[in-house]
């Protein structure tokens, strides 16, 4: 991280560089928590099923409640971050998510599970609007793409280590203790962010040419297109990440181990691609073309996976390429949103477009589950190709008329 933010030839004052490092580390830590908390309940499903005496449908409903609440509150939370300050909103989200899990550990029942899932959804809605608002306000313009990529990578890492952490907690302190311990991470990280002096960001703090920016509508054609773009991005990946293993096993004759290896490599390559994409995003202003080019190649790779039964080593290699390219576009995706946001409205812009991810999380599993129920496993990859091609078109549309943004 230090290399990413190292001073360019025109050296910045050391104090400013240190402040940027602290800000990026703090915001990335918060993003780690958000993805870690996403996996707490799913990792405890076997324990919750036994303790509550319910089925997986009832447990799945808790995740649906989480997704719906998070989706409905993303945009309002973005407005709140710009109005009262992203720092306050982020700290409240970290604390609320942690308290929700602690409450469930202290009072385990199915009604409490649903209520706590709703609180977790509300807490989850703060991270993208607040984090991106702070990064947009305090990171150096020339290294913004790399800052976004590190932030995104931290989230990937939080999800990647969650299963191992939860398994270790259950083995040592039991299911209830695991809920309480996982919840305590939220308030603890909130205190760390206070201790390191996380800076704030709000519309009132942003000035253009020495004056506060004029009020303007955030619901612009670019923001609407980007919201759809985010939804299509989510739909293009959720089928592979959620149903890729069962699709490879039933449609391609892959063994459980080889299918899991292919998906693991896909997810790991995505995380590596995010870091590489940060450097690429900082070296171009045509972020839409970067996203379109990567997804066009990605669509061709996934189309080959959908139509040809490949040997296991080649399948794993192609899944790795697909994952890497999918990760590369993430920083350019975030730069598209930042460039489309009016001055002082980064929180609202990211809150609105992130709703697209929530929509894909609600409808994607239903669509790809239906595809599997129709015994069409190859269409898990085929439908993903269709969504990828649509993202190519929208990425090029957003790149045609880019707003001019002052450095």
Assign residue 252 the CATH number of its domain. Answer: 1.20.1250.20
Residue with the larger pLDDT of the pair 289 and 406: 289
Q: Is residue 28 part of a domain?
A: yes
In the prediction, which pLDDT does 399 show? Answer: 65
For residue 212, being part of any structural domain is answered with no
**Whole-number Å distance between alpha carbons of 303 and 317:** 14
DSSP 3-state of 403: coil
For the chain, what is the radius of gyration of the CA atoms? 21
User: Does one domain contain both 39 and 166?
Assistant: yes
Q: What is the pLDDT of residue 163?
A: 80
Is residue 321 predicted with pLDDT exceeding 70? yes
Residue of 12 and 197 predicted with greater confidence: 197
Q: Do 247 and 373 have their domain in common?
A: yes
**One domain for residues 195 and 238:** no
Distance CA 290, CA 225 (A): 17
Q: What is the average pLDDT value for the chain, to the nearest integer? A: 85
- Helices (H), strands (E): how many in the chain? 14, 0
Say what the pLDDT of residue 116 is: 95
pLDDT score of 24: 92
Rounded mean pLDDT, 182-187 = 97
According to the model, what pLDDT value does residue 217 have? 66
Last residue of a domain, one of 202, 234, 261: 202
Claim to verify: residue 269 and residue 173 sit in the same structural domain = no
CA-closest candidate to residue 42, choices 237, 238, 242: 242
Q: Do residues 375 and 236 both lie within one domain?
A: yes
Contacts of 385 (CB under 8 A, 6+ apart): 299, 302, 303, 306
Residue 17 binned pLDDT confidence (cut-offs 50, 70, 90)? low
Q: 267 and 393, same structural domain?
A: yes
- pLDDT confidence band for 203 (50 / 70 / 90): low
Those residues with Cβ within 8 angstroms of residue 202's Cβ, 6 or more apart along the chain or in another chain = 81, 82, 83, 84, 85, 86, 133, 344, 347
Residues 335 and 251 in one domain: yes
11 has pLDDT over 70: no
pLDDT of residue 160: 79
73 and 186: one domain?
Answer: yes
Residues 52 and 154 in one domain: yes
Tell whether 192 and 232 lie within a shared domain: no
What is the CB-side half-sphere exposure of residue 174 using CA atoms within 13 A? 5
172 and 263, same domain (yes or no): no
Q: How far apart are the C-alpha atoms of 162 and 252, rounded to whole Å?
A: 30
Residues 6+ apart with CB under 8 A from 329: 233, 277, 290, 291, 294, 295
Compare 267 and 153 and report the one with higher pLDDT. 153
| Domain around 292 | 221-400
What local confidence, expressed as pLDDT, does residue 371 receive?
87
More confident residue, 9 or 322: 322
Q: Where residue 405 falls among pLDDT bands split at 50, 70, 90?
A: very low
Mean pLDDT of 264-293: 85
- Which pLDDT does position 396 carry in this prediction? 83
Model confidence band, residue 249 (pLDDT cutoffs 50, 70, 90): confident
166 C-beta neighbours (distance < 10 Å), count: 23
pLDDT greater than 50 at residue 209 = no
Give pLDDT, residue 216: 62
* Short-list 45, 369, 97, 401, CA closest to 226: 401
Task: Report the number of distinct structural domains present in the chain.
Answer: 2
CA-based nearest residue to 68, from 116, 121, 115: 121
CA dihedral 227, 231, 232, 237 (to 10 degrees): 140
Asked if pLDDT for residue 15 goes beyond 80, the answer is: no
Q: Which residue has the higher pLDDT, 307 or 56?
A: 307
CB 104 within 8 A of CB 40: no
pLDDT at 206 over 70: no
Are residues 275 and 391 part of one domain? yes
């Amino acid at each position: 991280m230090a290399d990413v933010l190292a001073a360019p030839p025109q050296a910045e004052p050391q104090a400013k560089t240190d402040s940027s490092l602290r800000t990026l580390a703090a915001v990335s830590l918060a993003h780690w928590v958000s993805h870690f908390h996403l996996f707490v309940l799913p990792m405890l499903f076997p324990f919750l099923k036994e303790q509550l005496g319910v089925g997986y449908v009832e447990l799945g409903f808790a995740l649906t409640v989480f997704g719906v609440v998070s989706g409905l509150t993303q945009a309002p939370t973005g407005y709140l971050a710009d109005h009262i300050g992203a720092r306050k909103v982020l700290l409240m989200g970290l604390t609320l998510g942690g308290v929700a899990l602690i409450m469930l550990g202290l009072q385990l029942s199915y009604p409490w599970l649903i209520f706590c899932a709703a609180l977790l959804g509300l807490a989850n809605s703060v991270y993208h609007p607040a984090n991106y608002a702070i990064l947009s306000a305090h990171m150096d313009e020339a290294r913004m793409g790399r800052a976004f990529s590190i932030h995104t990578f931290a989230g990937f890492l939080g999800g990647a280590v969650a299963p191992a952490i939860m398994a270790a907690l259950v083995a040592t302190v039991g299911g209830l203790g695991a809920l309480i311990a996982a919840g305590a991470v939220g308030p603890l990280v909130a205190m760390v962010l206070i201790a390191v002096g996380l800076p704030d960001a709000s519309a009132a703090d942003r000035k253009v040419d020495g004056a506060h920016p004029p009020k303007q509508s955030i619901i612009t054609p670019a923001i609407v297109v980007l919201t759809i773009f985010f939804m299509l991005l989510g739909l293009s990946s959720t089928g592979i990440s959620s149903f890729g293993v069962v699709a490879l096993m039933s449609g391609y004759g892959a063994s459980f181990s080889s299918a899991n290896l292919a998906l693991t490599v896909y997810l790991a390559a995505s995380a590596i691609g995010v870091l590489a994409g940060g450097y690429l995003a900082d070296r171009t202003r045509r972020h839409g073309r970067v996203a379109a080019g990567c997804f066009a190649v990605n669509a061709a790779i996934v189309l080959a996976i959908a139509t040809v039964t490949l040997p296991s080593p080649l399948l794993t290699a192609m899944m790795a390429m697909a994952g890497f390219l999918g990760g590369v576009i993430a920083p350019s995706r975030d730069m598209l949103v930042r460039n489309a946001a009016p001055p002082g409205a980064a929180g609202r812009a990211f809150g609105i477009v992130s709703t697209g991810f929530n929509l894909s999380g609600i409808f994607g599993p239903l669509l790809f589950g239906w595809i599997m129920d129709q015994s069409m496993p190859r269409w898990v990859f085929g439908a993903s190709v269709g969504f990828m091609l649509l993202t190519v078109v929208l990425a090029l549309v957003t790149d045609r008329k880019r707003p001019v943004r002052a450095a």
